[in-house]
Structure 1
Amino acid sequence: MKASRIGWGLACGVLALTAYVAWDNWGDTWLAPAKPATSPAANTTAGPLEKSAQIERGQYLARAGNCVACHSARGAEPMSGGRRIETPFGAVFSSNLTPDAATGIGTWSPQDFWQALHHGRSKDGRLLTPAFPYNHTSVITREDSDDLLAWLQSLPAVHQPVQPHTLMWPVGTQAALAVWRSLFFSPAPFKADPAQSAEWNRGAYLVKGLGHCAACHSPRNALGASGAVDDLSGGLMPVVNWYAPDLTRESETGLASTPLADIVQLLRTGQSRQAQTSGPMAEVVQHGTQHMTEADLQAMAVYLQSRASKAATAATATVRAKVSLVVAEKGLQIYDRHCVQCHGEQGQGITTATGDAAYPALAGNRAVLLSDPTNLVQTVLYGGYGPATALHPRPFGMPPAVLELDDRDIAAVLTHLRTQWGNQANEVTPLQVNRIRAAQGH
């Protein structure tokens, strides 16, 4: 009898949990009124000039959100989907967002598109995988959602069926996605802070929503969930294995003390007097931020700077690492052979006539001094390349050394960078280099 009661109790608990998860993920559709028989793709009452302006706004928003980076496979038409996106749980393939009726979003209404952005659900109610950052797109206003759709519907239709995802079971099932969403997802429509300026609020909207900065700049847990849309505390990006620095810490980014004009320049061109972009951030600049208006970049800079902490660097960061004589000599030899011509004998770098960094200084460089050396190892292994932008079309680059330097060589030269010219950071070990190299399959 007791076992029977326990069994009934467990069954009731499972049923209650199932009902909650179902309601949490689809409850709003059960209460929504029936859709009209037709599904207009956009506002049919708009005149030609108004429609043209809406499409232009939508194109701008798509660029600000860097949509093309994920929704365009190499060699394919823009926004036709099919790009393979690796995750720790397998691969997903991006959706075709062109107005093809069979394989794209040609039959989607503004409400269907809004549902995808705000709730992370497809037109048919299917839950989308969180590789699509719908926690961030839920921030986007309905007006911006409609403008985005208007632009997408203006593109040439491309018939390109998307390949099925190859996620490990049961990760890709609707049941598993529903549970994951109940644990980690809740729509976060933007709410302006009345205590802040209109410029600050515009920056917050762009950073939290279209910019989806926290998708990279926040840590992820074992189930792949990132922090809140305003969590900029940094973390290691899975699969690509780049470290996204903590944007709220002065010691990692210097945002609190960097002039706003220089932050804007970095977002627009990929480089400034203090920093250069590389890796995933270079792609963001190339496909996204370089196309944004000066006012929007300024707003983002204002918001990011306000979030940056001005706390002093911890005292432990000033303790110089103890390096063996063998490692020190080896690091100096490799630096003299491969690095000194561009970065200088004192790590001072080379600047252009306009004051921009052709080759960045390594002395006092925050990227060099990060406690996590992942980005340094990645740069030496695979090269460092900034984005080609309209205002900086021919950036200088750094050749890869993946086939030339072994793990001990890379560890030694990076230790040299981190312990010379006043730099005081921990030694990089061959084991750390080996793990990063192995994670990339080389």
Structure 2
Amino acid sequence: MIWFRRLLLLLVVSGGLLLVCVLGWLFFGGGGHQPTSPAMSKVDATTLRDPALIAKGEYLVTAGDCAGCHTAQGGAGYAGGRSLATPFGNIPVPNITPDRETGLGSWSFEDFWQALHVGKGRHGELLYPAFSYTSYTKVTHDDALAMFAYLQSLPPVRQPPSALALNFPYSLRNSLTAWRALYFKEGVYVPDPGQSEQWNRGAYLVQGLGHCNECHAARDTLGGTPQDVHLTGGQIPEQNWYAPDLSTQSNGGLQGWNEQDIVDLLKTGQSAKGAAFGPMADVVAQSTQHMTDADLHAVATYLHSLPARAPLPEEKPPFNTSALIQHGEQIYTQRCADCHGKNGNGVAGIYPPLNGNSSVTEPTGINATRSVLLGGFAPLTAASPRPYSMPPFAQQLSDADVAAVVSYIRQAWTNKGPIVQERDVSKYRQTPID
């Protein structure tokens, strides 16, 4: 079997420590260390019915974009009913309404805390990290209690989960011990006394509830993100979108963005530097537009403190690209310049700039390619209820045409992105939208 040969090769070349850890993950399992939950008495029903606590929980659940995974398209809110695609197979998303048979109705707060903080289910089973407990472990006890109170206040919806569809050996749920040893560090966020209160609030939201690193960092062959990799950008598995590096400093994915640019994007879906498309448009629509200005500024303050990045190595084109770029410029002039401008600077608040746009220049070219193929649809927000959208060109342009125009855009004006080849366009054309 091809996958097994590849796995054996990976184990051979990855060294003794990884070999021991992975074999433990695949075959031995076990419960790992016990959760270090804070001492807490049983939470009574009166506490969970406190309107102020429920309102706080609603805000936190929204800020964490829980509906983004736990609500199926056209389905009841938070009732699950969909599966998350991973490179290892599909994982059903659970119902988190208070239905006693198929949701969280029979869960105690202690059960919920264990799932959020430790990554273990109600009966102690290890949870698959498609549930981002690697980030949620940083959520405080009080915030978790508020979230649980809100979820328990929802109308119960009966929605049984679909079957787990992971490939062997990843389907061995109780064998995640070594994966957790490699990629999971349990612990509530600890404020940095050397930083401001605003910075710490931003760090708490970004690192914990916002779980930004789950998309904005590359994953390795085993589906994990090393603990020293933080917001450096990465391709979102199985979705074929690239979540950019979030540093605003030299060589960062948001180089040149000021704090207001970040706030504007998260609040309205648009900023002077670009607009939210693809998965980020959903995040803005369902989550960040509803956050307070104080929290958005805190997030921006934290992101602005991320360090500069090392420059990416320059890629030598595999062939003479002059004809490709010339063809791309012709297509751009005919199809794109009326909106985005001959200078690529767009129209403020209407058409996003392409010049210096991080979604255009990101390392892979995925975002620009898929936007040309599928169109670009900014989120509907309270501040931008009727955003302009970009039509799809999948039917009008061939793979060669798309490769040419995207390559031109990635190298025009101040942009310095590598070219996109026709074979890449063909691959991304076949990728499902969701």
- 2:182–2:226 CA contact under 8 A, matched in 1: no
Tell me the equivalent position of 1:204: 203
Tell me the equivalent position of 1:22: 30
Please report the RMSD computed on the Cα atoms of aligned residues, expressed in angstroms.
3.1
Query: Superposition pairs for residues 143-182 of structure 1, below 5 Å?
Result: 143-182=142-181
Query: Superposition pairs for residues 193-342 of structure 1, below 5 Å?
Result: 193-228=192-227, 231-248=230-247, 250-254=250-254, 257-309=256-308, 324-342=321-339
Q: After superposition, what is the alpha-carbon deviation per residue over 1:263-305, rounded to whole angstroms, capped at 9, x for unaligned?
A: 1111111111112111111111111111111111111110110
Query: Superposition pairs for residues 6-155 of structure 1, below 5 Å?
Result: 22-24=30-32, 27-28=34-35, 42-46=43-47, 51-155=50-154
* 1:364 CA drift (Å): 3.2
1: CA distance, partners of 2:76 / 2:160:
13
Tell me the equivalent position of 1:376: 368
**Do the aligned partners of residues 413 and 179 (structure 1) sit closer, same or farther apart at CA in structure 2, a change above 3 Å counting?**
same
Q: Secondary structure at the match of 2:113?
A: helix
Please give the TM-score of this superposition, normalised by the length of structure 2.
Answer: 0.86
**Do the aligned partners of residues 320 and 118 (structure 1) sit closer, same or farther apart at CA in structure 2, a change above 3 Å counting?**
same
Q: Secondary structure at the match of 1:187?
A: coil
Tell me the equivalent position of 1:348: 345
Q: Secondary structure at the match of 1:85?
A: strand
Aligned length: 412
Q: Secondary structure at the match of 2:58?
A: helix
Q: After superposition, what is the alpha-carbon deviation per residue over 1:124-165, rounded to whole angstroms, capped at 9, x for unaligned?
A: 112211110011111101111110000001000111111121
**Do the aligned partners of residues 365 and 159 (structure 1) sit closer, same or farther apart at CA in structure 2, a change above 3 Å counting?**
closer
**Do the aligned partners of residues 374 and 314 (structure 1) sit closer, same or farther apart at CA in structure 2, a change above 3 Å counting?**
closer
Tell me the equivalent position of 2:400: 408
1: CA distance, partners of 2:267 / 2:53:
24
- 2:246–2:253 CA contact under 8 A, matched in 1: yes
- 2:253–2:362 CA contact under 8 A, matched in 1: no
- Asked if residue 186 in structure 1 is aligned to residue 185 in structure 2, the reply is yes
Moved more, 386-395 or 329-338: 329-338
Q: After superposition, what is the alpha-carbon deviation per residue over 1:47-96, rounded to whole angstroms, capped at 9, x for unaligned?
A: 97xx1000000000000000001001112210111122111111111111
Tell me the equivalent position of 1:397: 389
What letter matches 1:429 in structure 2? Q
1: CA distance, partners of 2:385 / 2:251:
30
**Do the aligned partners of residues 300 and 243 (structure 1) sit closer, same or farther apart at CA in structure 2, a change above 3 Å counting?**
same
- 1:321–1:426 CA contact under 8 A, matched in 2: no
- 1:247–1:308 CA contact under 8 A, matched in 2: no
- 1:235–1:243 CA contact under 8 A, matched in 2: yes
* 1:316 CA drift (Å): 5.2
What letter matches 1:436 in structure 2? Y
Moved more, 358-367 or 213-222: 358-367
Q: After superposition, what is the alpha-carbon deviation per residue over 1:183-211, rounded to whole angstroms, capped at 9, x for unaligned?
A: 32231321111111111111110001110
What letter matches 1:402 in structure 2? A
1: CA distance, partners of 2:428 / 2:383:
33
Q: Secondary structure at the match of 1:183?
A: helix
2: CA distance, partners of 1:233 / 1:97:
31
- 2:78–2:97 CA contact under 8 A, matched in 1: yes
* 1:17 CA drift (Å): 6.3
Q: Secondary structure at the match of 1:307?
A: coil
**Do the aligned partners of residues 117 and 146 (structure 1) sit closer, same or farther apart at CA in structure 2, a change above 3 Å counting?**
same
Tell me the percent identity: 41
1: CA distance, partners of 2:387 / 2:318:
33
**Do the aligned partners of residues 194 and 325 (structure 1) sit closer, same or farther apart at CA in structure 2, a change above 3 Å counting?**
closer
Please give the TM-score of this superposition, normalised by the length of structure 1.
Answer: 0.85
* 1:320 CA drift (Å): 10
Tell me the equivalent position of 1:421: 413
Q: After superposition, what is the alpha-carbon deviation per residue over 1:376-399, rounded to whole angstroms, capped at 9, x for unaligned?
A: 111111111111111111111111
Counterpart of 2:425 (choices 420, 433, 438) is: 433
Tell me the equivalent position of 1:387: 379
- 1:203–1:300 CA contact under 8 A, matched in 2: yes
* 1:229 CA drift (Å): 8.4
Q: After superposition, what is the alpha-carbon deviation per residue over 1:14-40, rounded to whole angstroms, capped at 9, x for unaligned?
A: 9x9699952515x459x999x99xxx6
* 1:337 CA drift (Å): 2.5
2: CA distance, partners of 1:252 / 1:436:
25
Q: Secondary structure at the match of 2:188?
A: coil
- 1:320–1:424 CA contact under 8 A, matched in 2: no
1: CA distance, partners of 2:181 / 2:195:
32
* 1:244 CA drift (Å): 1.2
1: CA distance, partners of 2:72 / 2:365:
31
**Do the aligned partners of residues 312 and 179 (structure 1) sit closer, same or farther apart at CA in structure 2, a change above 3 Å counting?**
closer
